[in-house]
Amino acid sequence: MHHELFDDTLALLQDLIRNACVNDLTATSGQEVRNADTLEAFFAGSGAQIQRYESAPGRVSIVATVPGTDPDAQPLTLLGHTDVVPVDRARWSVDPFAAEIREGKIYGRGAVDMLFITAIMAAVTRKAARAGGLGGTLTFVGVADEEARGGLGAAWFRKHHPEAFSWQHCLSETGGAHLPTADGSDALTIYVGEKGAAQRRIHVHGDAGHGSAPYEKDSAILKIGQVAARIAAIKPEVTQDSTWKGFVQAFRFDAATEAAVLRGERYEALGQLAAYGDAISHLSIAQTVLRAGQAINVLPSHAWLELDIRTLPGQSDEDVDAMLLEALEGIDVEIEHLICEEATISPTDHPLYEALEAVLVELFPGAQVVPTIAAGGSDLRFARRAGGVGYGFAAHAIERTLGAVHAQLHSHDEYLHLEDLDLSLRAYDAVVQRFCGPAV
């Protein structure tokens, strides 16, 4: 496993973790300037063209471009984010920012999400730069603010500097984890899309008054409770699109089990992936924030409930509002839109997807490669909205199921197997060479 490219990548990953660019969703957090400085030093003398962009004080993204030598070759952009989510230090058994290595694993916040891929992307880009370039232009982007949905990172680039790098062909987090198939065959994933956001705040109103005299008062509390119960009873329709069907079929269940899972009746058959299967098979609604009242002796005249709604490709804001209004018929409500972003998906009949698939099959001979979608969000949605394609890509050892990899995201004692760092490094290096082509 230990070779110069791997050792350099591991050292960079440790530095990125130790910089502790924690994004708590406030504008002054993150301070990705630390990771931008580390990455700029990493590229020094390589021949890559470096640009820095500061969207707000300390919120620095870095772009390293290796110009292509073949005008007919396609460009490739590697989108790695440099921020990480907060930690509950009391729940960690190791220092979350020490990048400690124990028994073949590196521990630290961001080790999996997504600093290991970011370090790999930088390493293969520097390798290409030192070699004098490839056929197509290769660009690495160390993006700020992904964990807060990119307002000071990828979204900011799209609005203020759309020319900073190509959005035509993009790779980012994550992928390459394996499915626990019923027959023991190997199947592993590439993310081709992600669900959208249709966040809502539901308002109700009632009578104010003194808490000692509630007689015949119209209760906002009662109304919001009815709203919550009605929304909990919504049963969104299970999709029958090819991505969901292909995901379930990859498990190689018996026919009856497969049919039941496809109908959304046997998610438990997916084992550790039951919640993920539920999430990607239909629109999902999570009731997450409830507010009403201030003083215990005052009847509140206003209450509201916030919903984290995630949509599938093809589902619109109008569809979501119609569903909510039908469920809440007879209750006087106001529906406020919060963050709204349509779901995005890229095709599998595309040269970049085919390159990813070919590399994974080289690493895992005989494996089935399964396109799937992410239940959460990533910077790849900006590439898709810009008319490009975006795929979530990595490579994990066959023992690492998709459920096991998901379990590391935002977790206490987050860790990455060094074996997976090596596999993903080899995978990215092979994809870059294959897709960009040799220098001319």
* Domains assigned to the chain: 4-181+348-436 (3.40.630.10), 195-341 (3.30.70.360)
Q: How confident is the model at residue 3 (pLDDT cuts 50, 70, 90)?
A: confident
* pLDDT above 70 as % of the chain: 100
- Tell me, what's the pLDDT at 186? 97
**pLDDT tens digits for range 296-311:** 999 999 999 999 999 9
78-91 CB burial, b ≥16 within 10 A, e <16: bbbbbbbbebeeee
Residue 356 scores a pLDDT above 70? yes
Q: How confident is the model at residue 117 (pLDDT cuts 50, 70, 90)?
A: very high
Residues contacting residue 99 through CB under 8 Å, at least 6 positions apart: 13, 14, 15, 17, 18, 106, 107, 108, 111
- Tell me, what's the pLDDT at 2? 64
Residue 1 scores a pLDDT above 80? no
Distance CA 388, CA 172 (A): 13
**pLDDT tens digits for range 216-227:** 999 999 999 999
Which run of H or E residues covers position 129? helix 116-130
Sort strands 389-392 and 284-292 into parallel, antiparallel or unpaired: unpaired
Mean pLDDT across the chain, nearest whole number?
Answer: 97
- The model's pTM is 0.95
Q: How confident is the model at residue 409 (pLDDT cuts 50, 70, 90)?
A: confident
Q: How confident is the model at residue 85 (pLDDT cuts 50, 70, 90)?
A: very high
Which run of H or E residues covers position 169? strand 169-172
- CA–CA distance from 404 to each of 148, 273, 352, 400, 415 (Å)? 24, 9, 26, 6, 11
Give 195: exposed, middle or buried? Use CB within 10 Å, 0-12, 13-18, 19+.
buried
Summarize the confidence of residues 242-263 as an average pLDDT. Answer: 98
| Residue 92 CB neighbour total at 10 angstroms | 17
Torsion of Cα atoms, 405 then 411 then 417 then 423, to 10°: 40
**pLDDT tens digits for range 129-164:** 999 999 999 999 999 999 999 999 999 999 999 999
Distance CA 150, CA 82 (A): 11
CB-based contact 141:35 (threshold 8 Å): no
Size of the chain in residues:
440
Give residue 209's region: left, alpha or beta (phi > 0; psi -120 to 50): left
Residue 406 scores a pLDDT above 90? no
CB-based contact 341:197 (threshold 8 Å): yes
Distance CA 59, CA 343 (A): 27
Residue among 219, 229, 228 at smallest CA distance from 300: 219
Q: How confident is the model at residue 116 (pLDDT cuts 50, 70, 90)?
A: very high
Distance CA 237, CA 257 (A): 19
Give residue 31's region: left, alpha or beta (phi > 0; psi -120 to 50): left
Strand partners, 170: 77, 390
Unique residue bearing structure tokens 């098979």? 281
Summarize the confidence of residues 169-187 as an average pLDDT. Answer: 96
Give 105: exposed, middle or buried? Use CB within 10 Å, 0-12, 13-18, 19+.
middle
The residue that leads in pLDDT, 54 or 377, is: 54
Residue 63 scores a pLDDT above 90? yes
Distance CA 421, CA 397 (A): 10
| Residue 156 CB neighbour total at 10 angstroms | 21
Mind giving me the DSSP string for 199-253? EEEEEEE---EETT--TT---HHHHHHHHHHHHHT--PPPP--HHHHHHHHTT--
Residues contacting residue 209 through CB under 8 Å, at least 6 positions apart: 217, 298, 299
Summarize the confidence of residues 270-283 as an average pLDDT. Answer: 96
Q: How confident is the model at residue 8 (pLDDT cuts 50, 70, 90)?
A: very high
Tokens standing for residue 186:
């190997």
**pLDDT tens digits for range 301-337:** 999 999 999 999 999 999 999 999 999 999 999 999 9
CB-based contact 128:434 (threshold 8 Å): no
Q: How confident is the model at residue 25 (pLDDT cuts 50, 70, 90)?
A: very high
- Tell me, what's the pLDDT at 164? 98
